Amino acid sequence: MRRGKVVIDRERCKGCYLCVRSCPFGVLGEDTRMNGSGVYPSCVIKAEACTGCTSCFKVCPDVAITVWEREEGDK
């Protein structure tokens, strides 16, 4: 089964949550801590559910998301 890893740049994220709504697996959610701009950025809440589909990356208007493909055994 394909696995991915999502990395969000907290300071770049403006909290629009387009990525949260686009994720078909519920990987992303709202962070409970503000970033330097005073917004609650998106964060990874279910890392194990990520398949690396890149839906979140494709919709992010701030280029704040990177998606990596994980190899077997990677955390």
Confidence band for 72, pLDDT divided at 50, 70 and 90: low
Confidence band for 75, pLDDT divided at 50, 70 and 90: low
Q: What is the mean pLDDT of the chain?
A: 94
Give residue 39's identity as a one-letter amino acid code: V
Question: What pTM was computed for the model?
Answer: 0.88
Q: Which helix (H) or strand (E) holds 1?
A: none
Q: What is the pLDDT of residue 73?
A: 62
Hunting for tokens 């998106």 — which residue is that? 42
- Domains of the chain: which residue ranges? 4-69
**CATH C-level class of 4-69:** alpha beta
pLDDT tens across 35-62, in order?
Answer: 999 999 999 999 999 999 999 999 999 9
CB under 8 A, 24+ apart: contacts of 15-20: 15/39, 15/40, 15/41, 15/42, 16/61, 16/62, 17/42, 18/59, 18/60, 18/61, 19/55, 19/56, 19/57, 19/59, 19/60, 19/65
